[in-house]
A and B are shown apart, each in its own frame.
Chain A
Amino acid sequence: MDWQGQKVVEQLMQILLVISGVVAVVVGYATESFRAMMLIYAGGVVLATLITVPNWPFYNHHPLKWLDPSEAEKHPKPQVVAKKRFSKK
């Protein structure tokens, strides 16, 4: 999953769960049924899981542009030169 997809997934998950919680409370209170509230919320959790947890293709529409290998060779990594440090007393 690319970065854009990860961001979308996190927001989607939170929104889906909050909405299913709100709908669950409202419907449960209106119908005076605790069971209705629990079932609606459980359904919302399952829905959110199916939408956000698997790595669906539409989360990969903005893939990272990795550097081309031939371009990378033209710019070698700088060498780290080990320096001796004289410790001060």
Chain B
Amino acid sequence: MAAAEGPSAALRRRDLCSRGIRLAGKMRADVVDLLDAYVEQQGLDASASVAAVEGVPVAAVERWDEQTGTQRLLENLAAYRAFRALLAQMLEEQREQLGEADAGLGRALAAVLLQVSAFAYHLEELLRLESRGIPGEEGDGPPPPPRLSLFEQKLRGLGVLRELAQWAVRSARDLRQLGKPSSAAGAAPGLAESP
């Protein structure tokens, strides 16, 4: 597919990868900063252990280097779509809990949410360039999570942000892998590099 695409498409792809990598990097940095603010704001322990959040794809994957580009893109897209929904929910819960009392945390959450959306857009564009169909978002989305207590909401938020930080690192590496000239749309395995 790489051979079939024109020079403009290759440039576009490279530009999207480059921009996506930087976006992922910034997203990670912002999420890390947000995590600190979130832990402090919510009165949590930064070392608190959080169980896997339901609906959040796990960034760690075995045989990462054996994944194809499309596979990478699809996994990333699915993850970020999930994050987008979770962050939107967190933002709603945050506004309900604190109102306008802590606008800074809300703005930071909104910024991260935008970055997640932007990254999802990058992934969709890359998928389009690979002439792959973009999987449609499930109409009703994931079933609404059960009603959680306030503390559970805080812990879930903490888990979402931690996992998003992990995904930001993985996504940057995925896009870097995709951006390499030798990388084929199919299944050219990258270097033995794990996130």
A and B are partners in one complex rather than unrelated chains? no
